[in-house]
Structure 1
Amino acid sequence: MNEIKQNSLYAWLLAARPKTLTGAIIPVLIGTSLTLADKEFKVVPALLCFLFACGMQIAANFINDLYDYLKGTDREDRLGPERACAQGWITPGAMKWGIGITVLFSCVIGCGLLYACWGDLPYGGWELIVLGATCVIFAFLYTTILSYQGWGDLLVLIFFGFVPVCGTYYVQAYTLTSDVIIASLISGLVIDTLLVVNNYRDREQDTLSGKHTLIVRFGEPFGRYLYLGLGIIATLLCLWFVKDWNITTILLPFFYLFAHVRTWRRMCKIQSGKKLNSILGETSRNMLLMGLLLSAAIIL
């Protein structure tokens, strides 16, 4: 890794953290599957939602990278090798430009989404402007302030659950349903497992740096069982979509639960240290599995 050229394309790719894009893609995938089931699918708005979600995720990663570096909380053993500023792969000045460009890209995509939907939206599309601006504002606030005050889990439910799932469905169907609300909650709960295992791994350093996550506040056992409980609740909520006791629809989400419990058992054995990075990878894989299985169950 030492041969990586400063500010190179490969350095930017590492800083973007492609593995985290799973969390951006899953809610849009679920929202789009609902439009397919309701025969409301529209290609252009769906594609723009994917691009906006990925752009905002990368922007948030850049902001997080820079802020942790400036705050002095970056440590390779805790945060892994993808922190570009701490590794010297990207200069702070260049990272500021990267943040500006990715935020601008997301805003342009959002404007494209507004243009694509404007003529059909019942309220003229102003609600999308407010929603997009809120996403940008909280991308900065979460990394710099709110995550340090223990608001991370709630914000994941909002911005990786209700906002992207409801938003993706709304710009295609121009309405919301109870199915969309339940699917949003499932998405937020599943994606929150990634934040929980991240905070579980970092709990000792977070305590020292004054980051008051739920696991810092309530302890290691709470974090361990919170991770397990999120997956169980999300799986049980999937039964909402069972129609006429379709056995395929019933069983599909439980494949996720099986993988989730296996990962949880490994997490409990490791408990602390750098080896928990492997649990992050498994959790990301499990999240994608749930996104695919829930989408299939909805369409079926």
Structure 2
Amino acid sequence: MVKIWIAAFRLRTLPLALASIGMGAFLAAADGYFSWSIFLFCALTTVLLQILSNLANDYGDTVNGADSAARSGPQRTVQAGLISLKLMKRAIFIFVVLALCSGIYLLYLSFGFNLQAFLFFFGLGVMAILAALAYTAGRKPYGYMGLGDLSVLVFFGFVAVIGSYYLFAKSVRMDLLLPAVSIGLFSTAVLNVNNIRDIESDQKAGKYSIPVRIGRNNAVVYHWIILGTGMVSSLVFVVMNYTSAWQLLFLLTLPLFMVNARAVKTKQTADQLDPYLKQMALSSLLFVLFFGAGQLLA
């Protein structure tokens, strides 16, 4: 049973979640702001939210029909009958509570008894939980309307990067929007690979993701635009804040994104494309590590 739950947690998605808050942490550290306790609880809260999202997605896609026997991607636990709907709902509730507890303690570590800041970020946390639940679950899941890409950009990009930076620094700079756009778009690219892989089963289930709406060929072009814009955004940030060639270290990850872009075009079956979700997530994490290292070494 433990292996089944680990499969439901979808651990391969966690590097992407950690990449988002890692970007904010590196930027804060480069500006002289860092706290291990804040970072560790920020990472824990992020992991709990990502697992919550994965469980809710497993539940919602089964209820709404996107995860069916006709689906070509990896088997989902609820759809396969490995975990009951009742048990999955219970697990979702548990992870909502865990994410709230971890998030509240994180805000206490960062803001203490500053009620205004505490309430603002608590509101963002509640919005993140609701977004995770409403993506594929509920009567009108926004993921079925093609709004998943926008949600990922907002929460994995702007909220995660700018929000985590603020937890350390208690202030924010407008140019931080550029690296936030980068990791937000790379996260969106992971979703796009997933949606291209599932385009046929999603279409049958009435899940109108971006690839379903615009077609596979246009979704490939969309993917290239996402990756290109993400890389250029960070390059512009470095040019605006240039002090050392070390800041260009992240460009070493460019071949990894080119591999992913080529795979999306050339890999036609779900089984062929599936490994590139993990490859894109790990490439994003490596991008953040190289980008952050460059900022610290500059």
Structure 1 residues 269 and 130: CA distance shift in structure 2, 3 A: same
> How far apart are the structure 1 equivalents of 2:247 and 2:26?
14
Gaps of at least 5 residues in structure 2 are none
Report percent identity of matched pairs: 30
Letter in 2 for 1:226: Y
Letter in 2 for 1:44: S
Deviation at 1:135? 0.8
Question: Residue 263 of structure 1: which of 255, 260, 263 is its match?
Answer: 260
Question: Residue 100 of structure 1: which of 78, 90, 93 is its match?
Answer: 93
CA-to-aligned-CA distance 1:155-208 (integer Å, 9 cap, x gap): 111010111111111111111112422221111011111001111111122222
Instruction: State the number of aligned residues.
Output: 291
Please state if 1:164 is matched with 2:163: no
> How far apart are the structure 2 equivalents of 1:62 and 1:136?
12
Structure 1 residues 122 and 279: CA distance shift in structure 2, 3 A: same
Deviation at 1:218? 1.3
> How far apart are the structure 2 equivalents of 1:142 and 1:86?
17
Structure 1 residues 119 and 72: CA distance shift in structure 2, 3 A: closer
> How far apart are the structure 1 equivalents of 2:210 and 2:264?
18
Letter in 1 for 2:170: Y
Please state if 1:273 is matched with 2:267: no
Question: Residue 137 of structure 1: which of 117, 127, 130 is its match?
Answer: 130
TM-score (ref. length: structure 1): 0.91
> How far apart are the structure 1 equivalents of 2:206 and 2:142?
12
Between 128-137 and 86-95, the greater mean CA deviation after superposition:
86-95
> How far apart are the structure 1 equivalents of 2:217 and 2:97?
42
Question: Residue 231 of structure 1: which of 227, 234, 248 is its match?
Answer: 227
Conservation of the 8 A alpha-carbon contact between 1:231 and 1:257: no
Q: Which residue in 1 is equivalent to 2:148? A: 152
Structure 1 residues 142 and 245: CA distance shift in structure 2, 3 A: same
Please state if 1:14 is matched with 2:7: yes
> How far apart are the structure 1 equivalents of 2:130 and 2:288?
26
> How far apart are the structure 2 equivalents of 1:183 and 1:270?
29
Alignment of 1:1-300 (within 5 A): 8-75=1-68, 77-81=71-75, 83-119=76-112, 121=114, 123-144=116-137, 145-239=141-235, 240-242=237-239, 243-244=241-242, 246-250=244-248, 252-300=249-297
TM-score (ref. length: structure 2): 0.92
CA-to-aligned-CA distance 1:118-154 (integer Å, 9 cap, x gap): 3375834110111111111111112231110110111
Conservation of the 8 A alpha-carbon contact between 1:161 and 1:184: yes
CA-to-aligned-CA distance 1:56-113 (integer Å, 9 cap, x gap): 10011111111122223214652303x1112222222111111011110000001101
> How far apart are the structure 2 equivalents of 1:120 and 1:241?
36
Conservation of the 8 A alpha-carbon contact between 2:13 and 2:278: no
CA-to-aligned-CA distance 1:187-246 (integer Å, 9 cap, x gap): 101111100111111112222211111211111121111112211111112221244463
> How far apart are the structure 1 equivalents of 2:17 and 2:5?
18
* Aligned Cα root-mean-square deviation (Å): 1.8
> How far apart are the structure 2 equivalents of 1:155 and 1:268?
24
Between 168-177 and 204-213, the greater mean CA deviation after superposition:
204-213
Conservation of the 8 A alpha-carbon contact between 1:64 and 1:143: yes
